Amino acid sequence: MLSRLLRRWSPELMRPVIRLMTHAKITPNQLTLTGLLLAAMTGTLVAAGLALPAAFTLLLSGALDALDGELARQSNAETPFGAFLDSIADHYGDFAVYLGVAWQAVHAEDQALMLLVVVAMFGSLVGSQIRSRAGMMGLET
């Protein structure tokens, strides 16, 4: 969600960062995998009850998710594998955060929070399935 907002809101802000990354020979897939690691770290921090560091790593992960695609487009490095990797990394990253929140919910015996986690996970799966199926049918999502 954050990455979509960043892509719409700040192409001008991203350009200098993209130029720097291109000059440093950072690849879009490296950004994708770093974002995934940060999302996993976020889930771990949430599970440990460290909300402020978790918020920071979540923001960084979201920023990298926005930058990877933009870097691929601007450096003419878009590939089907990169798009696939980005999609898979997004889902694994989301679930890492969900699991961290679920861990907190279990330890706090917070049934309402656990229900919200289940609903969020279900929504993520269903949304992904709808987009995938629509794509197979040639529908625009």
Task: Give the domain CATH number at 65.
Answer: 1.20.120.1760
- Domain tally for the chain? 1
d(CA 47, CA 30): 26
Let me know if residue 141 belongs to a domain: no
Domain that holds residue 121: 2-136
pLDDT at residue 41, rounded to an integer: 98
d(CA 134, CA 141): 7
Sign of the CA dihedral 79, 81, 82, 84? positive
Entry pTM: 0.84
d(CA 90, CA 84): 10
Let me know if residue 61 belongs to a domain: yes
Helix orientation angle between 51-74 and 2-9, rounded to the nearest 10 degrees: 50
Let me know if residue 131 belongs to a domain: yes
Q: State the 10-residue block means of pLDDT for the chain, 141 residues long.
A: 59 82 94 98 97 97 91 92 95 96 95 95 88 85 69
pLDDT at residue 14, rounded to an integer: 79
